[in-house]
Structure 1
């Protein structure tokens, strides 16, 4: 009964995501959105929607204490390790650079802010959600930066140049700006904050519609479907390996047990729609990224519920 209730709770949180993805897919199949229009939606999210969203949300985080900081470092280390391992595995399996970069980013950057964090608050309590809010900053300021560097590398830049160029990415820059405002305890002027908040509210919904449109355009534009192996491996790394290793790694730090449980639950989040937006912007395996986002989000209705049930039993 407890598992059923958790699955239903997670489904109620996932369902709106699929409604928006379905809307984008339907518009594409009805030919109301074509490839150029979908790129326009993605460009809006890339330059305005997601940067505003990150600046608005991350600037409200508090400063982590010493123990929490070590827990966040452990989380970041696991994410970077798994992204590198996915890229290395892809090379051994003969994947293209685009597949390795796209799958690598998808295996590490999760939908922690809009799905896993609310689930954490509902299952583990408001205090757990407060403790693990910094994980959202790690996802976008550290893991997303590494992922964008991978995309730049796949697009033909050197590793060094792609890493430096990652900091010019509007989403990455907004993440760092938001974290800096939080650490310095600086608030945006009220009129600017309201404008950023309005743009922030549009980021995730428009991104999901663009994701659905990209899935719907798969056949109409005649492009080859992405290979299944990178999609499946990235999904398994994100939903299974990431939370397991975060549980072990954070357990080696002095971070509180409640943070350990919450960070593990956030690590189990499906791949973020931002991964699709970034791959679309760089022209690196966007359809594969779209499939990973859709697959992991669908699977998370069960995997997040199971993780929540196990972690709740541990905490209690």
Structure 2
């Protein structure tokens, strides 16, 4: 037991060290907004899409039990999104706060952080079984969340959804899922190129996440942003931020564990999906809220808060799940 308590944090903390390295580089002004654009652009257009295609294409067509598990996970994530909107109505949050908190509470850093940690803590087979969670996050949850941001910003919800589906990250998740469902693989030379880019995707993305957190007051490249408003964005209230953080780090993983158990999903998937549900809010939330000029400071603070707190909570969840896997 003592060895496990020491071993799991040692496997998890290196990923946060890469995030911290990015924050330090930004705070020391070794990366400013313009200099970080190349790093962010690489992650957004090459590293992250390659990681998604490479990981998802190897999942294979899910059997009935795995499909039920994925459905249960997706239902939990969308339930959290709906819960944040409902709570926001009850507490009289603004539309921007409701939309931003809903996306921040439901969309986790499952690909940048979750999948590598699942591989490290629970093994590659568990990661293979639970890789479909990434597709659910970045196709279903992200599309719904972006639609809400468009609604809150006074845009057409349909137009926002179509924009989300043209996102290279969403397109990569769809491509990898289609390849898996059809049992297809990329041609040999292309597959090796994608594998090489995928290997760099996670570490570069984690550093890019740190840089993004360190430069939350600066534009981030990789996603077109709206022109800066003439007046500074209002300081966000902490209520929506804290409740979104609680939903992301506590409610979603608990719901995912219960729901995947109720549908009798494979244990490996249940463990991996719960661990990925416990990841902090995805940096993509900050990118999207910035792009829509909706809850942008709140999105940045939620990403920063959940990333900091998850240094402890994610390690604790990983220890518990690793014990169950033994």
Alignment match, 2:32: 33
Is the 1:167–1:173 contact (alpha carbons within 8 Å) kept by the matching residues of 2?
yes
Alignment match, 2:256: 246
Partner Cα distance (2:320, 2:254) in 1: 12
Match of 1:236 among 213, 221, 246: 246
Q: What SS does structure 1 have at the residue aligned with 2:60?
A: coil
Is the 2:134–2:173 contact (alpha carbons within 8 Å) kept by the matching residues of 1?
no
Q: Residue by residue, what CA displacement relative to the aligned partner does 1:222-255 show, whole Å, maximum 9, x if unpaired?
A: 6543221111111110100001111111111121
Taking structure 1 as reference, are residues 89 and 98 closer, same or farther at Cα in structure 2, changes over 3 Å only? same
Q: Residue by residue, what CA displacement relative to the aligned partner does 1:9-46 show, whole Å, maximum 9, x if unpaired?
A: 3222211112113323432xx8x635x77778766655
Is the 2:97–2:295 contact (alpha carbons within 8 Å) kept by the matching residues of 1?
yes
Q: Residue by residue, what CA displacement relative to the aligned partner does 1:140-187 show, whole Å, maximum 9, x if unpaired?
A: 122112122222222222444433443233332232122112222333
Is the 1:23–1:212 contact (alpha carbons within 8 Å) kept by the matching residues of 2?
no
Partner Cα distance (2:36, 2:152) in 1: 22
Alignment match, 2:223: none
The runs of 5 or more residues in structure 1 that have no matched partner are none
Alpha-carbon shift at residue 204 of structure 1 (Å) = 1.7
CA-atom RMSD in angstroms = 3.0
Alpha-carbon shift at residue 48 of structure 1 (Å) = 5.4
Alignment match, 1:20: 22
Partner Cα distance (1:119, 1:49) in 2: 17
Taking structure 1 as reference, are residues 269 and 189 closer, same or farther at Cα in structure 2, changes over 3 Å only? same
Paired residues, number: 310
Is the 1:17–1:208 contact (alpha carbons within 8 Å) kept by the matching residues of 2?
yes
Alignment match, 2:107: 109
Partner Cα distance (1:88, 1:40) in 2: 39
Partner Cα distance (1:102, 1:194) in 2: 38
Is the 2:114–2:275 contact (alpha carbons within 8 Å) kept by the matching residues of 1?
yes
Is the 2:18–2:207 contact (alpha carbons within 8 Å) kept by the matching residues of 1?
no
Alpha-carbon shift at residue 109 of structure 1 (Å) = 1.3
Is the 1:33–1:213 contact (alpha carbons within 8 Å) kept by the matching residues of 2?
no
Q: TM-score, normalised by structure 2?
A: 0.82
Match of 1:182 among 155, 160, 180: 180
Taking structure 1 as reference, are residues 48 and 279 closer, same or farther at Cα in structure 2, changes over 3 Å only? farther
The runs of 5 or more residues in structure 2 that have no matched partner are 220-230
Alignment match, 2:134: 136
